[in-house]
Amino acid sequence: MVSWRDWLHDAARQLGAAGIEDASAEGRFLFTGVLGLSRSQVIADPDRKLDEASLAAVNKALERRVSRVPLSQILGATPFWTLELLVTPDVLSPRADTETIVEAALNDVDTARPVRILDIATGSGAIALALLTEMQSATAVATDISRAALDIAAINAGRTGLSERIELVCTSWADGIAGRFDLVVSNPPYIASSIIETLEPEVRDHEPRLALDGGPDGLAPYRHLFSEARRLLAPGGTGVFEIGYDQREAVLRLAQEAGARDADCVKDLGGRSRAIVFAFS
């Protein structure tokens, strides 16, 4: 029978050989995630043997990870902000960097007010749901062009107890959305089409192309987003969009061309420009 220690050792070797960075940590996440164990349980009992069913389950997960399926898709969940969100191949796995958008939005609104939020291109629902957990009186409209992504967002809204405060709409950007919003947020696809083939296999082969491809220069979505924000932001409202680390100047220019004022970029924890914050009035 295989001990926990031996399995972890072999998993780290296989993951490393597959080109995965930090193979030991990945093996441990896989092991604890699949078996529902804490890290301290594993550290405390390394000589414990795997029963047959557990061994089959962790081996199957390891095989998928070695073929570069993202950990979040194997485990079916990923942490975002204070939430644990369902993730499938139909949605982009929410990234820690995207929490910068949540933070920037919270800095700019009175969270006690009944804020109206529009999250364009919501995917798993990550940004809208994180904002709603921080604003008890807020409501959100969240759009996506992918019906399959919205199905996942609906499950995440249910799991986080926020279904009553979010409306999910299948549309392109904000087509057909009316009314005024205090916050318009978005993390659109912003990778230049030609770059996609050079990305890590986890992203290139397993995340939805629709969630990545920002057109020839990666900026196509912003051209829609700024004009939609101008139409839909309430007086005094704030827009916050995620941007690529190298898009600061180009996106600031697009914001200016659209008539935005006070546009500025916010950095993520790694010190890279990650969000543009702007207003129109």
Ligand X SMILES: C[S@@+](CC[C@H](N)C(=O)[O-])C[C@H]1O[C@@H](n2cnc3c(N)ncnc32)[C@H](O)[C@@H]1O
Residue 100 touching ligand X (CB under 6 A): no
Residue 59 labeled ligand binder: no
Q: Which of 26, 99, 103, 144 binds ligand X (CB under 6 A)?
A: 144
Phi/psi of residue 20, nearest 5 degrees:
-90, 125
Residue 70 labeled ligand binder: no
Q: Which stretch binds ligand X (CB under 6 A): 19-27, 28-36, 91-99, 105-113?
A: 91-99
Nearer to ligand X, 125 or 237 (CB): 125
Phi/psi of residue 11, nearest 5 degrees:
-65, -45
Residue 189 labeled ligand binder: yes
How far is Cα of residue 177 from the mean position of the Cα atoms in its chain?
Answer: 23
Question: Could you tell me the smallest distance in angstroms from the CB atom of residue 149 to ligand X?
Answer: 4
Residue 122 touching ligand X (CB under 6 A): yes
Tokens, residue 161: 């107890």
Q: Which stretch binds ligand X (CB under 6 A): 1-9, 66-74, 109-117, 142-150?
A: 142-150
**Bridge partners for 8 per DSSP:** none
Residue found by looking up tokens 């050792």 in the block: 9
Question: Could you tell me the smallest distance in angstroms from the CB atom of residue 154 to ligand X?
Answer: 13
Nearer to ligand X, 32 or 98 (CB): 98
Nearer to ligand X, 149 or 232 (CB): 149
Nearer to ligand X, 12 or 74 (CB): 74
Residue 244 touching ligand X (CB under 6 A): no
Q: Which stretch binds ligand X (CB under 6 A): 3-11, 89-97, 130-138, 232-240?
A: 89-97
Question: Could you tell me the smallest distance in angstroms from the CB atom of residue 241 to ligand X?
Answer: 10
Nearer to ligand X, 11 or 118 (CB): 118
Question: Could you tell me the smallest distance in angstroms from the CB atom of residue 253 to ligand X?
Answer: 21
Query: Where in 145-204 is the site for ligand X (CB under 6 A)?
Result: 145-146, 149, 172-173, 187-189
Residue 94 labeled ligand binder: no
Question: Could you tell me the smallest distance in angstroms from the CB atom of residue 123 to ligand X?
Answer: 2
Rounded alpha-carbon distances, angstroms, from residue 273 to 11, 238, 241, 243: 36, 18, 11, 7
Residue found by looking up tokens 């990545």 in the block: 212
Q: Which of 61, 86, 92, 263 binds ligand X (CB under 6 A)?
A: 92
Binding positions are 144, 173, 187-190
Binding site residue list for S-adenosyl-L-methionine: 144, 173, 187
Contact residues toward ligand X (CB under 6 A) are 91-92, 94, 98, 121-124, 126-127, 143-146, 149, 172-173, 187-189, 210-211
